[in-house]
Amino acid sequence: MVTMSPEPKQGPEQQPPEPVEPVAPKPSPIPSQLREDDTEDQENRQMQVAMRMVGSAMVFIGFLQVFLSASTGAEISIFPMIIYFSGMAMWAYSSVVNLTVRYTVMALSLLCALAFMHFGEVLFWHKYLIYWGTIGVVVFFMFKTPKKPADS
């Protein structure tokens, strides 16, 4: 006859060990997926850099014509203003991180370009507003310290 012995009573000090569940390692991404993601990110960064360069060049070309016109007193057409504000919108799209600020700058830039197209002339005070506004923006970004990326 088989008799079962009673289990010993367990006090607060003696508890049965909890079963340990094996932790399955996370599957590593497939190398082809990594290459595709890296390639896509790299292409996006390259496009942003190209847009930033073209936008900066357009702003510079437009500003140079406005500056020379303001300093000599000559009249200019609306095309330097359109180039300037289109470049500003392109630069903001590729450079500004905060979405609210990005789209606000883009909307105001395109609105100004459309306003110059509508009125069809550039007055003296327009030139000085562009001149001092550009200097203000450049000074702001010159003295703004970049944030360091967080270590992850």
Amino acid 120: pLDDT? 87
pLDDT exceeds cutoff 60 at 34? no
Q: Which helix (H) or strand (E) holds 16?
A: none
Q: Which of 48, 110, 123, 108 is nearest to 83 (CA)?
A: 110
User: Is the Cα dihedral 63, 65, 69, 72 positive or negative?
Assistant: positive
73: confidence class by pLDDT, cuts 50, 70, 90: confident
Q: Name the pLDDT band for 30 (thresholds 50, 70, 90).
A: low
Alpha-helical runs (H) found in the chain: 31-72, 79-95, 99-119, 124-143
Exposed (0-12), middle (13-18) or buried (19+): which is 57, by Cβ within 10 Å? middle
CB neighbours of residue 133 within 10 Å: 12
d(Cα 102, Cα 107) in Å, to the nearest integer?
A: 9
Q: Is the pTM of this model over 0.75?
A: no
What's the pLDDT tens digit per position in 97-129?
889 989 999 999 999 999 999 988 888 898 899
According to the model, what pLDDT value does residue 31 have? 59
